[in-house]
């Protein structure tokens, strides 16, 4: 297969490298840790053959995640929502509405988050060797050994042993793969990606995936337990779990013909559009502190004018951070975002703007399932976000553990506020304040 031309899509300030090939009637969006590095990726015969097979029945959109391959290096935002935004930017750039999402390990986990938060943009999900808690599902000793080995000379060799063991004894394949790894991801980048993956827990995200899903597990794989991959499938309603021969975590490192056939059978089947109005979202509640006293000091007319300016500034901040203002609630605002980091950064801006107006704001953020309908939202995630805000002090942003776990890879830092009994919630919730 001829090497496709590398193109770029803009995701915020980051440029994401991608390639297009194939002319089939279906569409695949494919990613990995470093997919589109032209000079090395297509030099490996198995990779070339695998994607040639996919291109016979589908148009394949093939992109590098940020901080790998030909995409921009990024130090400060490797969050799950940033990777979702990158995928959407590539889809928009090529005019793809609902491709089937295909990824391995952490790439599959990122695509699961995309399917949960944007069900109208996912035509299906094929996930190879994913787990619910990322590296936390692998043996701890193995993970520590891998982190330490990344900066060493034998890092590529160790990675091949773990993730493509069938190639480890082949000097030609080992040399090709070592070159591929060195040119697609530096040791520091590899460490950042690994640490990011280690801390992601998708147990609250996977039940919201509505798209048809196929979860594949290489039957001889040792670095990721089969129980962790099976759990990933069980948390997605209606997902199919299937074991395939081999011990690798790369599609091309298994049986490329078999994997291409499995994917083709899945993709060419029916993939109905989602009918549920359930969606994964990050919910932000804000509220003014001491508004009654301030209103009494200013008088009705002046207070009404100040409150209107505050609400206008809040709606503007929500829009700048890619959110949607659902409604105002007295002195506060209810808004939703596709990712928790955006919600937190929006809350920071709202607090800063309000402070300049002489106002104090408290806020709460939670990520979970919401029901959307008739211009309003409902569900436990909404209730939880409101209760979390109620625990916050003036100028404080409180978040749930779910939010803290999902923003791993960002520059956000948190202070542990311990467990709280929230009104109307059976179990105590661990809360964190944004530092």
| pLDDT at site 352 | 95
Where residue 52 sits, what CATH number does that domain have?
Answer: 3.40.50.1820
Where would I find the beta strands (DSSP E) of 229-359?
A: 240-244, 278-289, 324-329, 332-337
One domain for residues 128 and 211: yes
Q: What is the mean pLDDT of residues 61-65?
A: 90
pLDDT band at residue 140, thresholds of 50, 70 and 90?
low
| pLDDT at site 34 | 45
What pTM does this model have? Answer: 0.81
One domain for residues 414 and 339: yes
One domain for residues 87 and 152: yes
Q: Return the axis-axis angle of helices 340-356 and 300-320, rounded to nearest 10°.
A: 150
For strand 414-420 and strand 376-378, is the pairing parallel, antiparallel, or unpaired? unpaired
Q: 229 lies in a domain?
A: yes
Cα dihedral value 307, 313, 319, 324, nearest 10: -10
Rounded percentage of the chain residues whose pLDDT exceeds 70: 91
**Which of 210, 232, 267 lies at the terminal end of a domain, its last residue?**
267
State the Cα angle at 327 between 77 and 209, rounded to 5°: 50
Residue 12, CB-side half-sphere exposure with 13 Å CA sphere: 17
| pLDDT at site 161 | 78
- Residue 289 bridge partners (DSSP): 360
Which range among 78-92, 133-147, 236-250, 346-360 shows the weakest confidence by mean pLDDT? 133-147
Rounded percentage of the chain residues whose pLDDT exceeds 90: 47
82 burial class (0-12, 13-18, 19+ CB within 10 angstroms)?
Answer: buried
Cα dihedral value 208, 209, 211, 213, nearest 10: -140
**Which of 206, 239, 267 lies at the terminal end of a domain, its last residue?**
267
Where would I find the beta strands (DSSP E) of 12-96?
A: 14-21, 26-32, 58-64
Which range marks the domain in which residue 415 is found? 278-434
Instruction: Summarize pLDDT for 375-424 with one digit per residue, the tens.
Output: 889 888 999 999 999 999 999 999 999 999 888 778 899 999 999 998 87
Tokens of 334: 């209810």
What is the helix (H) or strand (E) element at residue 433, kind and residue range?
strand 429-434
In whole angstroms, what is the distance from residue 96 CA to residue 311 CA? 36
Domain count, the chain: 2
pLDDT band at residue 276, thresholds of 50, 70 and 90?
low
One domain for residues 261 and 354: no
Where residue 324 sits, what CATH number does that domain have?
Answer: 3.30.70.1230
**Which of 239, 267, 295 lies at the terminal end of a domain, its last residue?**
267
Average pLDDT, the chain: 86
Q: 1 lies in a domain?
A: no
pLDDT band at residue 170, thresholds of 50, 70 and 90?
confident
């Amino acid at each position: 297969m001829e090497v496709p031309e590398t193109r770029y899509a803009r995701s915020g300030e980051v440029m994401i490298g991608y390639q297009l090939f194939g002319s089939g009637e279906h569409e695949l969006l494919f990613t990995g840790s470093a997919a589109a590095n032209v000079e090395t990726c297509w030099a490996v015969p198995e990779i070339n053959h695998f994607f040639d097979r996919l291109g016979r029945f589908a148009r394949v959109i093939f992109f590098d995640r940020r901080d790998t391959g030909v995409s921009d290096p990024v130090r400060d935002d490797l969050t799950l929502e940033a990777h979702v935004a990158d995928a959407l930017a590539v889809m928009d750039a090529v005019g793809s509405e609902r491709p089937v999402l295909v990824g391995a390990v952490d790439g599959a986990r990122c695509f699961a988050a995309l399917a949960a938060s944007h069900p109208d943009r996912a035509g299906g999900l094929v996930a190879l060797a994913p787990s619910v808690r990322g590296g936390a599902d692998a043996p701890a000793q193995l993970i520590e050994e891998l982190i330490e080995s990344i900066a060493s000379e034998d890092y590529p060799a160790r990675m091949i042993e773990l993730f493509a063991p069938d190639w480890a004894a082949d000097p030609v394949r080992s040399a090709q793969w070592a070159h591929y790894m060195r040119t697609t991801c530096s040791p520091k980048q590899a460490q950042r990606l690994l640490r990011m993956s280690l801390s992601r827990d998708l147990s609250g995200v996977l039940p919201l995936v509505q798209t048809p899903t196929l979860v594949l597990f290489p039957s001889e794989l040792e670095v990721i337990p089969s129980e962790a991959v099976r759990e990933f499938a069980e948390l997605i309603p209606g997902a199919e779990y299937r074991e395939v021969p081999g011990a690798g975590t790369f599609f091309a490192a298994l049986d490329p013909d078999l994997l291409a056939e499995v994917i083709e059978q899945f993709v060419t089947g029916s993939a109905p559009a989602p009918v549920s109005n359930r969606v994964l979202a990050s919910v932000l509640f804000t509220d003014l502190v001491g508004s009654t006293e301030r209103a009494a000091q200013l008088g009705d007319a002046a207070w009404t004018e100040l409150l209107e300016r505050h609400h206008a500034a809040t709606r503007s901040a929500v829009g700048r951070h890619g959110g949607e203002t659902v409604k105002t609630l007295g002195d506060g605002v209810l808004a939703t975002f596709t990712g928790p980091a955006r919600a937190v950064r929006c809350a920071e801006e709202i607090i800063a703007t309000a402070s300049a107006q002489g106002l104090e704001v408290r806020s709460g953020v939670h990520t979970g399932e919401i029901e959307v309908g008739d211009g309003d939202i409902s569900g436990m995630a909404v209730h939880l976000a409101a209760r979390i805000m109620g625990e916050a002090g003036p100028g404080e942003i409180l978040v749930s553990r779910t939010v803290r776990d999902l923003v791993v890879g960002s520059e956000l830092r948190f202070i542990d506020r311990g467990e709280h009994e929230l009104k109307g919630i059976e179990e105590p919730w661990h809360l964190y304040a944004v530092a």
